Structure 1
Amino acid sequence: MDPALGLSFAVVLLMGVLISERASRTVISTAVLFLLAGFLLGQGMLGVITVESADPVVLILSELALFSVLFTDGMRVGVTDLRAAWRLPGRALVLGLPLTLVVTAVLAHYVAGLPWLESFLLGAVLSPTDPVFASAIVGRKEVPGRLRHLLNVESGINDGLALPIVLVLLAMAGGTEAGGWQLTEEILLGIVVGVAVPLLVLALERLPFLSAERHLEPLVTVSIGLLVLTICMATHANLFLGAFAAGVTIATVRPEFRDEFEQFGELVTELLKLAAILVFGALITPSFLFQEIPLAGWLFAVLALVVARPLALLASFLGTNLPRGQRIAAMWFGPKGFASVVYGLLVLQSGIELADQLFHLAALAIVLSILAHSSTDVLIAKKLSTTPG
């Protein structure tokens, strides 16, 4: 890693930790801090962080962070959890996700002028959500539990659901060397590895002569993640779907391991995400925002936030008894999260004809989303905490 990048991350991380308690009561968020720091330290401003989108560190860091995100997301949504309270998250996923994708694609075609295939690819990139960028909503007990559960379960699953769509559309656009059957094999093999490895390790752990000490139990889960990562890389299985499947398997078979791993896993995931957001911010330059993206692109990015998800969730929640305030909050808090960052980078490095334009539009929507959602979560959380229901 570039020493300047490492030092920048360490300094910004220290600053973020030291102001985190005060920032949690304001419109400032850690994600915004790292995004702005990356922007200011990047080549377009101070030139401290000198990374390009094609640099190996960008893709490697992003892939590791997304693997960790999907692994921990999967552990939030074991089969038992889904059965216990599926109605609202199910609507958001089964109806809301594809509707968000379609509405975003329509906007990309008619507003940004993209061809239909690339429009649907952009819609798939921007359809997952990440409430980590709206942590005051999902992390505050004052906010109604029904809403927190809805956003947590939805975000925990939609990254994994959107990924196969991104991969298939990217292959159709000529962005991967894998053909249809090979791509299917990679996806299925990733799921098989993600299910088989945890089952095998957890079966070994149950043997009477094999037992981890209490304080080392989180490392059992870490070892499962590392095994899935390395096996997927060695076999060319899809490591992201492997990560998600492994997390779901652990949460379903041994939920107590999920609880042991939770704090450690969240910290590791947060570190990787923040490092990737810092690098992502360094890729955003003033010329990127104000010269390379036309007015139609800005209009698309705004509409993707204020129209696509709200319209999709409005249709999805028809006939439910979710209170109006919670319904509006769920419609608004669909941040374009970290998965979208990595999916956008995958498109950029795929070499398809419109890769640069797609990445520019995705990056602008993500930046606007981080700024808008991370700046309004505290205010709306306070409002929800004083609203009955």
Structure 2
Amino acid sequence: MRTSDWFLLIGCLMLARGLAATTIARLPVTSAMVYLLVGVVLGPMVMNVFRFDPVNNTRVLETLTEIAVLISLFSAGVKMPVPFIFTRWSPSIRLAWLSMSITVGVVTVFSYYVLGLPLGAGVLLGAILAPTDPVLATDVQVRHAGDYDTLRFTLTSEAGMNDGSGFPFVMLGLALLGAGDVELGAWGWKWALVDVVWATAAAIVIGLAGGTALGRLGWALRNQEPKHEVLDDLVGLGLIAVVYAVSELAHAWGFLAVFFAGLALRHTELVLAGAHKNRQGLLVPDDPKADPANDEVPDRATTPLAVSAEALVFKEHLERLSELTLVLLLGGMLTLSSWNWRTWGTALFLFVIARPFSVLLGLAGTGLSMRIKLIISWFGVRGIGSLYYLMYALNHGLPTTLARDLIQITVVVVGLSIIVHGVSVKPLMDKFGKKRAPVGTERPE
């Protein structure tokens, strides 16, 4: 396709999405499903108007997916209820580290014994498919800063953290395959200390420090005399870029750092704005007109003027554009040969066995109701994060003999996730949406 053809196609999709927003919201479909359908119809499976070969475009696709995930992670961090209270975040932490690790292990066993892949390739495939996605899962994530729903909070914070916690397993898989520059050390001690402990801890510290510093600086500039204007969109993007770059230089996980930078930025701005804690211990903006007896769910309009709040709308627009472009390209990656028992079988195993098993095991003893656990176990949406990990592996020495197998499995799993989770998200969220308590108020089983 020519450049003008791409402009025409993407422009038409953007117009259609913008003009049909209300219609799509009423239908049992998601926008990602529409983009995927267009990509499949125009791609090699039907009309063959265009095809996108990830092997020949790894650098471009890695960069596009990297940017999309970073923007989405920052947006997710900004929308998180603050402050950080361990008892409230405990289920999310378990999902992001324990359940994800279990998923990697289970998928590794399946890949080795059923798919016949080498051990390293199985670990790598598990790392690619285990993290849930912050880009395509917007329908089951928190909707705005101040959305304190338990289910949405848990799914969003899980996706925000496991895009970073999955990286050590990517490195482990590449090391076992003899690819990349990862050194395991005796019994894997070097990998454990550097790629797990250091990279994770440093990312959290860098993110918290960056978000806190920007929050204080922006607040000081806004409240000095004469008043100082702050370009929130550029400042927010600048924070993402700086935190990510510093993390990369420090050999820390940048995705994790960007998520915690958004979290720290919102927390700092709420504290400086004089926000008070409600009965669940959450910081909420002061609103003289609000009824003190009903302050559990503050009005979105009361969010203080700040970088985190003002830049959020712009970030969501970038998320939509990223979703449109990348899911369209995903449709161009799917071919008829992609649909075989290995790809179908992996997707079925992941959705029906690996994800539910790891979630139920990881959340055991948390006090969340079985209904919440089952919904969480189903909505393990795979998407842009998985594509990024795949492209990262391709650009860091993944053997070509394994590349095609992992590409086929990944694109089919992501495509099926968009369909099956997209079809089920609205009915399930509508059915259970009014029955959930605010985060922090779930009663034990």
Q: Which residue number corresponds to residue 12 of structure 1?
A: 13
2:308 aligned partner: 258
RMSD: 3.5
Whichever structure has more helix as a proportion of its residues is 1
Q: Is 1:328–2:374 an aligned residue pair?
A: yes
Give the Cα separation in 1 of the matches to 2:257 and 2:94. 25
| Cα distance in 1 between the residues matched to 2:73 and 2:51 | 28
Following superposition, the deviation at residue 78 of structure 1 comes to: 7.7
For 2:263 and 2:172, the matched residues in 1 are separated by 23
Structure-1 separation of matches of 2:100 and 2:173 = 16
The alignment status of 1:367 with 2:406, answered yes or no, reads no
Q: Distance in 1 between matches of 2:342 and 2:382?
A: 19
**Aligned residue among 174, 177, 181 for 1:170:** 174
d(CA) in 2 for partners of 1:144, 1:230: 31
2:98 corresponds to: 95
**Aligned residue in 2 for 1:313:** 359
Larger mean CA deviation between 356-365 and 312-321 belongs to 312-321
The answer (yes or no) to whether the contact 2:62–2:391 under 8 Å persists in 1 is: yes
- 1:71 CA drift (Å): 2.9
Contact 1:348 1:358 in 2 (8 A): no
Match of 2:33 in 1: 32
Structure 2 residue 260 is the aligned partner of structure 1 residue 224: no
Shift of 1:166: 1.6
Letter of the 1:359 counterpart: I
Moved more, 232-241 or 271-280: 232-241
* 1:301 aligned residue: 347
Amino acid at match of 2:378: W
1:46 equivalent to 2:47? Answer yes
**Aligned equivalents of 1:87, 1:237: Cα separation in 2:** 23
What corresponds to 1:276 in structure 2? 326
Q: For the residues of structure 2 that align with 1:219 and 1:386, how far apart are their CA atoms?
A: 37
Q: How far off is 1:126 after superposition?
A: 0.9
Question: 1:220: Cα distance to partner?
Answer: 2.2
Partner amino acid, structure 2, of 1:22? T
Which shows bigger deviation, 119-128 or 251-260? 251-260
C-alpha displacement of 1:336:
1.0
- Residue identity matched to 1:148: R
Moved more, 357-366 or 40-49: 40-49
Q: Which residue of 1 aligns with 2:406?
A: 358
- Distance of aligned partners of 1:241 and 1:379 in 2 relative to their CA distance in 1, 3 Å threshold: closer
Do the aligned residues in 1 keep the contact of 2:150 with 2:436 (CA within 8 Å)? Answer: no
For 1:304 and 1:349, how far apart are their aligned partners in 2?
25
By how many angstroms is 1:361 displaced? 1.3
Choose the corresponding residue for 1:137, options 118, 137, 140. 140
Inter-partner Cα distance in structure 1 for 2:38 and 2:379: 24
Residue equivalent to 2:161: 157
Asked whether the equivalents of residues 144 and 384 of structure 1 are also in contact (C-alpha less than 8 Å), the reply is: no
Runs of 5+ unmatched residues, structure 2 = 185-189, 271-305, 438-445
| Identity in percent | 28
Please report how far the alpha carbon of residue 370 of structure 1 lies from its aligned counterpart in structure 2 after TM superposition.
1.1
Q: What is the CA distance between 1:326 and its match in structure 2?
A: 2.2
Contact 1:35–1:280, Cα closer than 8 Å, also in 2: yes
Farther off after superposition, 334-343 or 371-380: 334-343
Q: Which structure has the higher relative contact order (CA within 8 Å, separation 6+)?
A: 1
Shift of residue 373 of structure 1? 0.3
Structure-2 separation of matches of 1:117 and 1:78: 38
Matches within 5 A, 1:175-254: 175-177=179-181, 184=194, 187=199, 194=207, 197-198=210-211, 201-202=214-215, 204-205=217-218, 206=220, 208=224, 212-213=228-229, 216-228=231-243, 239-254=254-269
Q: Distance in 1 between matches of 2:141 and 2:331?
A: 24
Are residues 1:127 and 2:143 paired? Answer: no
Give the direction of change, closer, same or farther, for the CA distance of 1:80–1:164 in structure 2 (3 Å limit). farther
- The Cα of 1:175 is off from its aligned counterpart by 3.3
Matches of residues 65-80 of structure 1 in structure 2 within 5 Å?
65-77=68-80, 80=83
Work out the CA distance in 1 between the residues paired with 2:260 and 2:430: 35
Q: CA deviation at 1:372?
A: 0.5
Q: Deviations over 1:56-76 (max 9, x none)?
A: 432332222122223333434
Give me the whole-angstrom Cα distance separating, in 1, the residues matched to 2:211 and 2:134. Answer: 27
- C-alpha contact 2:160 2:256 (8 A) present in aligned 1: no
Please say which structure displays the higher CA radius of gyration. Answer: 2
Equivalent residue of 2:26, what SS? coil
The answer to which of 191-200 and 24-33 deviates more is: 191-200
| Distance in 2 (alpha carbons) for counterparts of 1:324 and 1:242 | 32
Q: Kindly indicate whether residue 194 of structure 2 is the aligned counterpart of residue 146 of structure 1.
A: no
SS of residue in 1 equivalent to 2:382: coil
How far did residue 266 of structure 1 move? 1.8
CA separation in 1, counterparts of 2:361 and 2:316?
Answer: 33
Deviates more, 1:76-85 or 1:364-373: 76-85
1:339 aligns with 2:385: yes
Matched length = 383
Give the Å deviation of 1:232: 6.8
Letter in 2 for 1:219: L
Q: How far apart, in 1, do the equivalents of 2:161 and 2:418 lie?
A: 20
Match of 2:46, SS state, is coil
